[in-house]
Amino acid sequence: MSTEASRTGPAGRAPGALLLCRAEPDSVAPAAGLLRERMLLTRAGEDWSVLVPEGRPWLHGGEPVDRVLTGWATALAVGASRPVLALWWDADRAGYTLAAGFRRPVGYVWLANGTPAGEDEAMRTFAARLGLDPVLDMESLDQLMKPASATDARARLRALLAVLTRAGVTLPTGLTPGEPADRLREAARAQPDTRPVEWPGPHDVVRTEIDAVPHPHPHP
């Protein structure tokens, strides 16, 4: 089996990703441009946006999708000053990474057959950082940390998104974890407010980086 085939797995099991940011698209766009990756940006519920990447680093560059997404989420969380949730999947696993400011990202992983392979504490930290209900929402998240023979890894991500609807996340129709990149981008283009992420010029890069740095309030 070729290196490419072993990485992506059988047809329909190619790696992919979505980036959710807890901010309006207008606030996300400048920071997303700094990633210099072809992406589509659209609304994903009240006060949420979603970025749909083309995926060249893992589809054509041989880079692990989870590693790329962790880097992007961390950079975007700092640049946009808002929490960023990266959802990713490949032939062997699926999972998420949550980045918030300068704090260490947290994540969770499921094997392809849905077997939990993460730490319970990471899931609890995830819930706390997003302000989820410590009782109702954690009960649902607890189920994602238990074995379930009829549930695969990508179904786990969809169940995670179902919990996040209570935090305002509403992904547009067709933006479903596990779908191929071309279908995800097609679904994003069907949304009336979708825009391509534009790469900033040198002046805009400096301005965005300055804005991302916290400034102390002047003393009276």
Query: pLDDT tens for residues 120-130?
Result: 999 999 999 99
Residue 18 has pLDDT above 70, yes or no: yes
Region 4-17: mean pLDDT is 61
Q: Which pLDDT band holds residue 200 (cuts at 50, 70, 90)? A: low
Q: Name the residue among 47, 49, 60, 45 with its Cα closest to residue 4.
A: 60
Q: What is the pTM of this model?
A: 0.86
Residue 216 has pLDDT above 50, yes or no: no
Residue 144 has pLDDT above 50, yes or no: yes
Region 177-193: mean pLDDT is 95
